[in-house]
Amino acid sequence: MMKMVPFAIQQSEQDGVYTLKLSGELDLSVVPQLQKSLQHVLERTDVALSLHLGGLTYIDSTGIGIIVSILKARDAINAPFYVQEIPSSIRRLFDLTGLSGYLKEGTEAQG
């Protein structure tokens, strides 16, 4: 059965890594909420930004667009950005759109 999990963001900072754990459905309706959460950390060069996607049940092109914009913003200031725990249904969309080729994944966040 398909479960409707509401979108949620959990934020934490530890040992130089700022982590955003996303869960539920990341679509057009929650884009402003995610953008707001990112606002204060996107430009920080003193931490690595890590996005955990393990709890995501769905993503659309606007969600993928946000990840592209994070990638661009972090690269532009030469600050680390990592993505972790990509669910298989979401990885398929990352592969299809070509996003996978630009993402740094997994435990490299500790590196």
Partner 1 sequence: MKAIGLQIPAQAEYIDVARSCLYGVAVKLGFTFEDIEDMKVALSEACNNAVLHGGAEGQEVIDISFQPGDGVLVISVTNNGPSFLYETAKHDSLPLQGQDSSELRVGGLGIYLMEALMDEVSVQSLEGSTEVRLLKYKS
* Sign of CA pseudo-dihedral 10, 11, 14, 18: positive
Which CB sits closer to partner 1, 24 or 106?
Answer: 24
- Structure tokens, 6: 């509401």
The binder of partner 1 chosen from 17, 41, 42, 68 (CB under 8 A): 68
Q: Backbone phi, then psi, for 27, in 5-degree steps? A: -135, -175
Size of the site for partner 1 (CB under 8 A): 28
By the rule CB under 8 A, 25 interacts with partner 1: yes
By the rule CB under 8 A, 102 interacts with partner 1: yes
Largest interatomic CA distance in the chain? 43
Residues 6+ apart with CB under 8 A from 33: 7, 9
Which CB sits closer to partner 1, 101 or 111?
Answer: 101
By the rule CB under 8 A, 62 interacts with partner 1: yes
Instruction: Return the number of other C-beta atoms located less than 10 Å from residue 56's C-beta.
Output: 22
Footprint on this chain of partner 1 (rule: CB under 8 A):
2, 4, 25, 27-29, 31, 58, 60-62, 64-65, 68-69, 71-72, 75-76, 89, 92-93, 96-99, 101-102
